[in-house]
C-alpha cells in the first residue's frame, strides 16, 4: 500500500510555522557567521583576503617553508593586529634565535600590549604571554596539533550533526519531493561533514588533500541552504494544499 503523507509544511499551524521558521532562520544566520569567521581566520592564513587552498594547507599542514608558526601568523591572519614596526620586530626576534634577553627587554611588553587582550583572555587560543607557550610558537610551523584537531573534530561532529538533524527533520515534511530525493538531500550534509573533518587530518598528513576541506564545507553548506530555503518557501509562500481525503470507514 502506498504511503500517504498526512500533512506537509504548508499544513502546519501558525505557532508551528513560526517555531520552525525561527529555528531555520537562526541556523541560517549562524552558518553565515560561521563562514565569515572562517574567512577571517583560515582565510587569512596566507596573508591574503579570501579562502584558498594555501590557506587550508597553512592552517592544517602548516607553512613549513615559512618558518615558525609565530612568523606565519604575523604574516597571515594576525598581520593587522599590531603596528608594522612591532610586527617586524617580533618576526626578526623569532628568526634570529628568540633570545631571552630581548624577550625580557621588549618583546614581552609588545606581546602584553598587542596580543594579550585576546590571547590571555579568550579560551581555545594559545596564551603567548607565557614564555613556554611562546617557545612552542617559534618552532617550525606544522599546522594544527593532533590534540587541537581531536578537540575541534569532536566538537564539530557533535554540534553540527545536531543542527543538520533538526533541519533535515523539518525538511522531511516538504511536499512535491519524492521520498528518495528527501532521503538523499537530508543525508548529504552528514556525509560532507564527515568528509570535512576527516580531510583536516588528511591535510595534516599530506597537503594534497586540502581540496577536500573546501569541498566538504561547501557541500554541507549548500545542502543545508537548500533544505532551509525549501522549508521556508513551503511554509509561507506555497499555497495551502487541499485537505487529504479521509480513509473510508470500515464496513
Residues 123-136 have pLDDT tens digits of 767 788 888 888 87
Pick the closest to residue 81 from 105, 108, 47 (CA basis): 47
Grid cell listed for 161? 550533526
pTM of the model: 0.69
Return the domain boundaries, the chain.
Answer: 9-41+144-236, 65-137
Mean pLDDT of 28-41: 87
Strand partners, 70: none
- Grid coordinates given for 219: 557541500
| Of 195, 191, 118, 185, residue with least CA distance to 153 | 195
- The reported pLDDT for the residue numbered 1 is 44
Burial (CB count within 10 angstroms: exposed 0-12, middle 13-18, buried 19+), residue 242: exposed
Q: How far apart are CA 193 and CA 43, in angstroms?
A: 19
User: Mean pLDDT, to the nearest integer, of 139-148?
Assistant: 78
Contact 74, 141 (CB under 8 A): no
Tens-digit pLDDT profile for residues 150-176: 999 999 999 999 999 999 999 999 998
Decide if 131 contacts 103 (C-beta within 8 A): yes
Mean pLDDT value across residues 55-80: 76
- Measured between alpha carbons, how far is 232 from 22 in angstroms, rounded to an integer? 10
Whether pLDDT at 41 is above 60: yes
pLDDT of 66 above 70: no
Amino acid at each position: 500500500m502506498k504511503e500517504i503523507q498526512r500533512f506537509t509544511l504548508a499544513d502546519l499551524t501558525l505557532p508551528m510555522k513560526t517555531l520552525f521558521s525561527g529555528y531555520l532562520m537562526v541556523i541560517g544566520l549562524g552558518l553565515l557567521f560561521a563562514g565569515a569567521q572562517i574567512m577571517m581566520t583560515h582565510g587569512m592564513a596566507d596573508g591574503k583576503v579570501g579562502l584558498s587552498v594555501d590557506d587550508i594547507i597553512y592552517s592544517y599542514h602548516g607553512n613549513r617553508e615559512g618558518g615558525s608558526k609565530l612568523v606565519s601568523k604575523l604574516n597571515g591572519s594576525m598581520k593587522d593586529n599590531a603596528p608594522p614596526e612591532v610586527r617586524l620586530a617580533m618576526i626578526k626576534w623569532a628568526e634570529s634565535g628568540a633570545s631571552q634577553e630581548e624577550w625580557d627587554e621588549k618583546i614581552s611588553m609588545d606581546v602584553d600590549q598587542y596580543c594579550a587582550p585576546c590571547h590571555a583572555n579568550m579560551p581555545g587560543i594559545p596564551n603567548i604571554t607565557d614564555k613556554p607557550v611562546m617557545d612552542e610558537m617559534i618552532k617550525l610551523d606544522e599546522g594544527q596539533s593532533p590534540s587541537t584537531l581531536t578537540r575541534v573534530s569532536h566538537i564539530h561532529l557533535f554540534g553540527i550533526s545536531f543542527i543538520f538533524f533538526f533541519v533535515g527533520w523539518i525538511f522531511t515534511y516538504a511536499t512535491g519531493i519524492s521520498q528518495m530525493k528527501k532521503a538523499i538531500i537530508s543525508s548529504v550534509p552528514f556525509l560532507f561533514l564527515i568528509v570535512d573533518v576527516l580531510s583536516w587530518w588528511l591535510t595534516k598528513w599530506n597537503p594534497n588533500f586540502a581540496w577536500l576541506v573546501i569541498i566538504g564545507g561547501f557541500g554541507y553548506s549548500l545542502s543545508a541552504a537548500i533544505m532551509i530555503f525549501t522549508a521556508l518557501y513551503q511554509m509561507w509562500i506555497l499555497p495551502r494544499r487541499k485537505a487529504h481525503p479521509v480513509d473510508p470507514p470500515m464496513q
